[in-house]
Structure 1
Amino acid sequence: MKIIIVGGVAGGATAAARIRRNDETAEILMIERGQYISFANCGLPYHISGMIEEREQLLVTSEPAFTERYRVDVRSHTEAIAIDRKNKVVRLRNVTSGDEYDESYDKLLLSPGAEPVRPKLPGIDSPRVFGLRNIADMDRIMTHLAQHNPRRAVVIGGGFIGIEVAENLHEKAVFTTIVEGCDQILTPLDYEMAAIVHSHMRDKNIELYLEDKVEQFEDKDSHTVVYLSSGRRLQADLVVLAIGVRPETTLARAAGIDLGSTGGIRVNSHLQTSDPDIYAVGDAIEVTQTISGQQVLIPLAGPANRQGRMAADNMVFGNSKTYRGTQGTSILKAFDLAAATTGLNEKQLVAADIPFLSCITHSGSHASYYPGAKQISLKLLFTDKGEILGAQAVGADGADKRIDVIATAIHGKLNVEDLTELELAYAPPYGSAKDPVNIAGYVATNVLNKSHELIEWKELRAALETKESDMQLIDVRTAEEFGFGSIPTARNIDVNQLREHLDELDVNKPVVLFCQIGLRGYLAYRILTQHGFTQVRNLSGGYKSYAWAVDKQANPDIFDYEDIKRRDPEEIEAERSGSCAVSAALIASGSTGELHTLSAVGLQCPGPIMKTYKAMQALDDGELLEVTASDPAFGRDIRAWAKKTGNDVLSVKAEKGLVTVLLRKVAAVAAPAAAESLDKLTLVVFSDDLDKVMASMIIANGALSMGKPVSLFFTFWGLDVIRRVDAPHLNKPMMDRMFSTMLPSDADHLNTISKMDMHGLGAKMIRKVMHDKGVETPGHLLQSLVDGGAQLIACQMSMDVMGIQAEELIDGVEIGGVAAFLGEAGESGTTLFI
């Protein structure tokens, strides 16, 4: 029997080797268009950074070695250009010489893989724009890195390849930006799980643009400009396209072989195409998703290898093996995190019209008392009968193990209750007596038996935004935790004192409970339901999941492209080896606490202080934080901040335009609510001049980050600052409507400055300078005040005069009069009129 295999790599090479093991007499011809018949394409990004040092490590086998071992007629640099199905002949062409010839077959296997999506955008043929699909692509990128020493890279696409490329370019000391058209990266994950990775990418100083697309590229002498649909322009010395792939079906389509609804080659359960003598495997085929039963494209190496092996058996022995579909289990390394998934996510379940329930848990990778335990966030999706539909895990350690266990459970048709009974390996360095998989099973089982009702972050946020709910939102964490940040409108009742405060709650109104990760919320749930409360729900994943999901996901404009300087390779190597630029300060201080690092590069005041404040909150006493900022005033500001908050400044070092500060956590930073009353700051915002408003916002944010309670009293023109851009249409008297038409619509549309206004041109110039220097917009600064718990008061008298109604103001604004202002000012150590 003569078998021709079109395409090597995973599916084709695996099939060729399996056929030889099955049949020593078979004549096997393997055709590969490229130079390499089998290479580790999943490892390509890691050669860019040098993580995989030797290029040859990516070559699974060579043509001579494969031929010698398996006696396969391997023809690289050869392309299959046509199939004559009637005469069972394949037309081949040598891509080097151009010679064409025919080869007959008894059985034919198509394993052409997938081709990268490369949209027809203006300028996409630039020599600085690359793809990464094979060894040749990687070689071109490596040559460009060696010859041009790029400082700035833009990666188009936030899928697996895009994230891997971005990480490895960053490790190569290249400032890297990711542009993704969706509202999240890594679409196999649900939004709130991807938000964990977003946060980590921001911490790693990866610039992230979401819901933005590339419109064109334009080459300049020294760089390429990437134009985005949002109007932004990014400078790049290197661009990598990682938009996705589509099945390579040119040969099959020309031969009249049926394609499926997804665009992939349609195969039956034996991996046969519509021609019984032609089989197909790998990224080119559509497969049955094992849970939904729908036809999908899942371009993964594991399924391709299994398909190659099975197709080989069926071609040699007849259709004896049945492919049961693809589950879609995958994992990605994103810097220090692993993001893993199996089965279906929420979007896929909704698209397949499959009802589902879900729960989110946060557990340790191993026993918490053994050093080095890392958090694993695990989301489980299941039916109301307990059937497992999918799972996602994100964590620095152990996410792979948990997803593999659940993937096996799905394959074995176990249910969520079965997860509670799994006996998994346990010793303190490796796991917990109650493994995260067991815990997810416990929570899901409680949901099914109605002993625990959850509410998702999306539903809670929507309820809070409507302001029409009579829901009682209770934060059951400690008072200290509550003081460091909570969900707006929440009331704090520590779960340990909940029983003593039951009479303060209305048993007839809905109650939503939350804690940090969900456990104390569940305990509070059980207390309330056993005391007659019937409308109780606990926030799935707790405040941790909610905060991640509602946080700003993208971090655009963190790089000053004009002034960007290449990171020092010695500095990068020092980071990798654990060496620290401030090690002398560590020794001098006698510090033994764990060292954490934080980048505030690209942020302008008060950004670095605010970011440091949040980071220090998460540390334990004695732990160290090394902060790097590009704001030249950071060294001065951080000393004042540390003195105010009781933390130690061990060293301040300015070098190469960066300020590096080493801090030691001395005591828990006091929450704003716990500060002394006379330490309060009150500002009267009277003006809507852009420069004056910016001054008030920066001062207020700075005070808030230092633990000061802050109140802002908006009066007359200052009311424009707190108007909402999406204000509803209201019936107003004519004079009020005239005011509304003439006034700025919100904080980001203030159109005058107090000096050199030049009929509005000055404000435009100021905005341009602010954008170029990375200064936050008034809207972002205002939102930071709201998120940080600042008190915003609108003057009722001024609202009446200006014709502004409460419905036109942003969320979180109180309505008050002069008495409210005087009350706040009386408790303040500082009162400013701007």
Structure 2
Amino acid sequence: MSKKIIVIGGSAAGPKAAAKARRMDEFAEITMFQKGPDLSMASCGFPYFIGGFFDDRNKLLCTPAGAVRDPKFYWNAKGIVAKVNTEVTRIDRQHKKVEFTDLMTGKKGSQSYDKLIISTGATANMPPIPGSDLDGITNLQSMQDADYLRKIRDEGKIKKAVVIGGGLIGIETLEALHLAGIELTMVELLPQLLTFLDWKMAKLVQNYLKTKANVITKNGVAEFKGENGKITGVKLQNGTEIPCELAVVAIGVRPNIGLAKEALLDIGSLGGITVNEYMQTSDPDIYAVGDCCEIKNIITGKNVLAPYGDLANLEGRVAGENVIKGNVASFPGTIQTGICKLFDYGIGITGLSETKAKEAGFDFVKVINASPDKPGFMDGKMLITKLIAEKESGKILGAQCIGPGDVSKQLAIWATAIKGNLNVEDMVNADLPYAPPFSLAIDHSIASAHILQNKMNGVFEGISGVDLMEKLNNNEDIFLLDVRGPDEYEQTRLGLGETLIPLGTLRMRLDEMPQDKNMEIITYCKISLRGYEAAVLLKAHGYTKVKVLEGGITAWPFDKEK
């Protein structure tokens, strides 16, 4: 007798689970229920549809070969019954059936299952403040939201908009609307954008974003203002009012667990469905995948919410195999690798940030490397990487990378290193592909490992811009040494009373250095490669407290003189 498989949810994880189940068993009866009208939407592509990177909305629903994934496609190509505009309203665990309603006709029905996969996704958060029901306020969670914002772009009537929330979706939505010629303000309640990054890295992103839009942090929205049912502005908690004709709310999502909760399935402390490594819930015949469930962070061992499209597909693949073959496939968890595009910048993280490493109780070392992704003669672009490793073992714990260079490549290298339990020593001689069109002779990632190795071995002593500024604010006696050339110094400088002595003249000008060789000296240049060489030179001449400003001028997160 053929197995009866039901999948609730048709966005990412659900269709992947259904397709995998079909490949495991040609004769299983597989039905997928989708509350909305569309199936297998590439939701991560919504901002790029809105921004005009492509114009055909069906490309968000297509296979690589160009076939639209609609119910007809699922039946003809995969033998899967896909019911759209159909909401599952109840899971009856005792009788192993689901109850559903056709949203177009109102007709109700029920269907039995042997195995059930819940893929109900997440719901966008909306602040509980006055005016939330005004026209012109939207999220970017569904195809309908994407259609609405694309229409706004195409019509070109809206001049001012506010994006509320400085996370991944907010950042990508802001870029999309900016490309439509809309004047934009981003509002973030927390002290920084992109909270998965450490403050300094996020501040560098914010400094860049300010060249494109107005950015407000440490201030939330108190009220949406409107006239005749339409939004006219946003009032902030400090009383400031920002006129606008559109507000996009991107303040995160929460797992959609209504069905699971009513069915008395176990729910985790973070509000997601509890699953084991097989994506199996507390009911052995029910699995859950995607944004609705909690999964384990591989590094810390603690559960996290990780609403990422790639993870949803991986989880769906595991569940699809297990509902047919038994629990033969497992999903180990996540290291929470994420990336986004912001105009010319890539921004991403894999593994733990410094903040998360502290919370997890790790004793770690960190460095910042600012250097190009390719040689200058191949139009290399700058990258800034923050690398974190366990102090005793050297095990890689996390990497953050931003800049106009190839951020994706760097994150892929470090994500693989983390999953492979590699340490700093493993990475200092990594055999990566090299040719000038693709990388430096010593790839940016290997250079980052070299700096961290030097730091762990006591050869290099660095200091972050944040820590340096704290010392200066505390009026500590520090000698700042800029070893760039005069032309670079004239273009931009820290403006903190630093002394300019170009590296090429330092040996001849040691008499201009402090006479007290125990005085703290901070050396730097554009990316602090010359700064490091200056520090080595000064230590050789008896200076005992020499540190290098990690990342140099490039990674300085505060305002600079120009």
Shorter-chain TM band: over 0.9
Which residue of 181, 184, 191 corresponds with 1:183? 191
1:581-638 Cα offsets, whole Å, 9 max, x none, are xxxxxxxxxxxxxxxxxxxxxxxxxxxxxxxxxxxxxxxxxxxxxxxxxxxxxxxxxx
Tell me, in whole angstroms, the C-alpha distance in 1 between the residues paired with 2:460 and 2:468.
17
* Structure 1 residues 151 and 19, CA gap change in structure 2 (3 angstroms): same
1:63-87 Cα offsets, whole Å, 9 max, x none, are 1101111111211111111112122
* TM alignment of 1:616-765, pairs within 5 A: none
Q: 1:23 — aligned with what? A: 25
Shift of 1:356: 2.0
Q: 2:521 — aligned with what? A: 511
Q: 1:536 — aligned with what? A: 546
* TM alignment of 1:127-206, pairs within 5 A: 127-145=135-153, 149-204=157-212, 206=213
Tell me, in whole angstroms, the C-alpha distance in 1 between the residues paired with 2:442 and 2:335.
26
Unaligned runs of 5+ in 1: 552-786, 790-834
1:476-526 Cα offsets, whole Å, 9 max, x none, are 223444454235132333333333444543122322222221111111221
Which residue of 237, 249, 252 corresponds with 1:241? 249
Shift of 1:406: 1.2
Task: Indicate yes or no: 2:77 matched with 1:69.
Answer: yes
Tell me, in whole angstroms, the C-alpha distance in 2 between the residues paired with 1:415 and 1:92.
51
Tell me, yes or no, if the aligned pair for 1:418 and 1:441 is still in contact at 8 Å.
Answer: no
Q: 1:119 — aligned with what? A: 127
Tell me, in whole angstroms, the C-alpha distance in 1 between the residues paired with 2:147 and 2:115.
35
Task: Indicate yes or no: 2:485 matched with 1:478.
Answer: yes
TM-score, length-scaled by structure 2:
0.94
Tell me, yes or no, if the aligned pair for 2:51 and 2:150 is still in contact at 8 Å.
Answer: no
Shift of 1:544: 2.2
Which residue of 477, 497, 505 corresponds with 1:497? 505
Shift of 1:226: 0.6
Q: Percent identity?
A: 38
Q: 1:373 — aligned with what? A: 380
Question: What amino acid does structure 1 have at the position aligned with 2:496?
Answer: P
* Structure 1 residues 536 and 78, CA gap change in structure 2 (3 angstroms): same
1:540-561 Cα offsets, whole Å, 9 max, x none, are 1112212xx123xxxxxxxxxx
Tell me, yes or no, if the aligned pair for 1:36 and 1:63 is still in contact at 8 Å.
Answer: no
Which residue of 376, 388, 397 corresponds with 2:396? 388
Q: 2:418 — aligned with what? A: 410
Q: Secondary structure at the match of 1:325?
A: coil
* Structure 1 residues 414 and 13, CA gap change in structure 2 (3 angstroms): same
Tell me, in whole angstroms, the C-alpha distance in 1 between the residues paired with 2:433 and 2:268.
43
Q: 2:310 — aligned with what? A: 302
1:227-252 Cα offsets, whole Å, 9 max, x none, are 01121111111111111111111111
Tell me, in whole angstroms, the C-alpha distance in 2 between the residues paired with 1:396 and 1:525.
28
* TM alignment of 1:255-654, pairs within 5 A: 255-370=263-378, 372-384=379-391, 385-467=393-475, 469-483=476-490, 484-502=492-510, 504-505=513-514, 506-546=516-556, 549-551=557-559
Tell me, in whole angstroms, the C-alpha distance in 2 between the residues paired with 1:485 and 1:136.
48
Q: Secondary structure at the match of 1:53?
A: coil
Tell me, yes or no, if the aligned pair for 2:137 and 2:231 is still in contact at 8 Å.
Answer: no
Q: Which has the higher helix share?
A: 1
Q: 2:66 — aligned with what? A: none
Tell me, in whole angstroms, the C-alpha distance in 1 between the residues paired with 2:279 and 2:399.
28
Tell me, yes or no, if the aligned pair for 1:475 and 1:486 is still in contact at 8 Å.
Answer: no
Q: Secondary structure at the match of 2:177?
A: helix
Q: Secondary structure at the match of 1:421?
A: coil
* Structure 1 residues 145 and 203, CA gap change in structure 2 (3 angstroms): closer
Shift of 1:145: 4.8
Shift of 1:353: 2.2
Tell me, in whole angstroms, the C-alpha distance in 2 between the residues paired with 1:293 and 1:373.
38
Shift of 1:122: 0.6
Tell me, in whole angstroms, the C-alpha distance in 1 between the residues paired with 2:100 and 2:231.
41
Task: Indicate yes or no: 2:216 matched with 1:209.
Answer: yes
Tell me, yes or no, if the aligned pair for 1:364 and 1:375 is still in contact at 8 Å.
Answer: yes
Tell me, in whole angstroms, the C-alpha distance in 1 between the residues paired with 2:400 and 2:524.
22
Shift of 1:333: 0.9
Tell me, yes or no, if the aligned pair for 1:513 and 1:539 is still in contact at 8 Å.
Answer: yes
TM-score, length-scaled by structure 1:
0.64
Tell me, in whole angstroms, the C-alpha distance in 1 between the residues paired with 2:51 and 2:232.
22
Unaligned runs of 5+ in 2: 63-68
Q: Secondary structure at the match of 1:217?
A: strand
Q: Secondary structure at the match of 2:506?
A: helix
Question: What amino acid does structure 2 have at the position aligned with 1:125?
Answer: D
Which residue of 89, 103, 110 corresponds with 1:81? 89
* Structure 1 residues 138 and 479, CA gap change in structure 2 (3 angstroms): closer
Q: 2:56 — aligned with what? A: 54
CA RMSD of aligned residues (A): 1.8
1:38-88 Cα offsets, whole Å, 9 max, x none, are 111111112223212111111131111011111112111111111121221
Shift of 1:436: 0.4
More relative contact order in 1 or in 2 (CA 8 Å, sep 6+)? 2
Tell me, in whole angstroms, the C-alpha distance in 2 between the residues paired with 1:364 and 1:512.
23
Tell me, in whole angstroms, the C-alpha distance in 2 between the residues paired with 1:93 and 1:209.
44
Shift of 1:287: 1.0
Shift of 1:298: 0.9
Tell me, in whole angstroms, the C-alpha distance in 2 between the residues paired with 1:39 and 1:418.
40
Tell me, in whole angstroms, the C-alpha distance in 2 between the residues paired with 1:542 and 1:148.
42
* TM alignment of 1:775-794, pairs within 5 A: 788=561
Q: 1:745 — aligned with what? A: none
Shift of 1:11: 0.5
1:101-129 Cα offsets, whole Å, 9 max, x none, are 22111111111011100122110111111
Tell me, yes or no, if the aligned pair for 2:374 and 2:380 is still in contact at 8 Å.
Answer: yes
Shift of 1:143: 4.0
Tell me, in whole angstroms, the C-alpha distance in 1 between the residues paired with 2:260 and 2:272.
10
Q: Secondary structure at the match of 2:210?
A: helix
Question: What amino acid does structure 2 have at the position aligned with 1:187?
Answer: T
Q: Secondary structure at the match of 2:472?
A: helix
Tell me, in whole angstroms, the C-alpha distance in 2 between the residues paired with 1:366 and 1:100.
60
* Structure 1 residues 275 and 470, CA gap change in structure 2 (3 angstroms): same
Tell me, in whole angstroms, the C-alpha distance in 2 between the residues paired with 1:248 and 1:491.
58
Q: Secondary structure at the match of 1:36?
A: coil
Q: Secondary structure at the match of 1:340?
A: strand
Question: What amino acid does structure 2 have at the position aligned with 1:323?
Answer: F
> Greater Rg, structure 1 or structure 2?
1
Q: Secondary structure at the match of 1:413?
A: coil
Tell me, in whole angstroms, the C-alpha distance in 2 between the residues paired with 1:234 and 1:307.
42
Tell me, in whole angstroms, the C-alpha distance in 1 between the residues paired with 2:397 and 2:426.
14
Tell me, in whole angstroms, the C-alpha distance in 2 between the residues paired with 1:397 and 1:473.
29
Shift of 1:470: 3.0
Paired positions, count: 549
* Structure 1 residues 55 and 497, CA gap change in structure 2 (3 angstroms): same
